[in-house]
Amino acid sequence: MPCEAHLSPTFYDHTCPRALTTIQTAVRTAVSRERRMAASLIRLHFHDCFVQGCDASILLDDSSSIQSEKNAPNNLNSVRGYEVIDNIKSKVESLCPGVVSCADIVAVAARDASVAVSGPTWTVRLGRRDSTTSGLSQAATNLPSFRDSLDKLVSLFGSKGLSARDMVALSGSHTIGQARCVTFRDRIYDNGTDIDAGFASTRRRRCPANNGNGDDNLAPLELVTPNSFDNNYFKNLIRRKGLLQSDQVLFSGGSTDTIVNEYSKSPKTFRSDFASAMVKMGDIEALTGSAGVIRKFCNVIN
């Protein structure tokens, strides 16, 4: 089971008091340049934490000793925002060299990204350290897939100490962001009973049926207010308008239907549960104390 990390929101209060405001300003700038970056930074934190814990292992590039997680099937040409984190790291390093970890920057950037698109805020516990290893082989099995069944998702999140309710709340981050045609092609062409016909027809316009044709064409994960953090994602699931199969399985006659219903009716409950789940996720197998290192550059081990 994931170990409970000894993290504290005041970790940098004396050693780097301007770290948090520096991160916040940089995230705001990045999101104002490209709204989609908010979703990308939240997802980057998630994909980091689910492989070896929240240790910034996802940021490491290929080298003689590292097989980069960036090349895992669920990350390659998909996970974004690395350059935003690298930019923040250089700013923080110039303020307080060798103090603030890349793992903490990723965690704080995810919170600030949520706030930048009117999403919930939460108190980020700090003091994570950076890994000296990568988890490429784990990435294939530890990251959820857009094809996953409800049971698979519940089991995968459970293995990280997250409940089914946490899983549904975290999936609600798909209220923002975009997905590539290759991830939802099967769903919109399967003529299944779990997809609204008009919605499928609309999505087919920019996503041709044949593999290799338009694979990288983007569609918003939530079509009503794709750039605002709200609860329309859950309302769409009830209307059978989830873009990914792994979205729609949350409302498909299974054990999580009641949670989706609840969030669709109460934005306040969703926001509160999302914030709590993000705090729990940020604690997964964090390296603390003398474990790990503080990298000078996030993409290489010093």
Residue positions annotated with a catalytic role: 47
Contact 273, 260 (CB under 8 A): no
- Tell me phi and psi for residue 253, to 5 degrees: 85, 10
Containing 168, the helix (H) or strand (E) segment is helix 164-171
Q: How far is CA 111 from CA 90, 116, 160, 167, in A?
A: 19, 9, 20, 17
* Dihedral over Cα of 76, 189, 256, 110: its sign: positive
Contact 223, 179 (CB under 8 A): no
Residue with tokens 């996970």: 79
Environment class of 64 (CB within 10 Å of its CB; exposed 0-12, middle 13-18, buried 19+): exposed
Residue with tokens 């930019």: 87
Contact 45, 131 (CB under 8 A): no
Helices and strands (H, E) in the chain, number of each type: 13, 2
Q: How far is CA 12 from CA 20, 21, 125, 128, in A?
A: 9, 12, 10, 11
Instruction: Tally the C-alpha atoms within 13 A of residue 272's C-alpha that lie toward its C-beta.
Output: 6
Rounded to whole angstroms, the Cα distance separating 111 from 115 reads 6
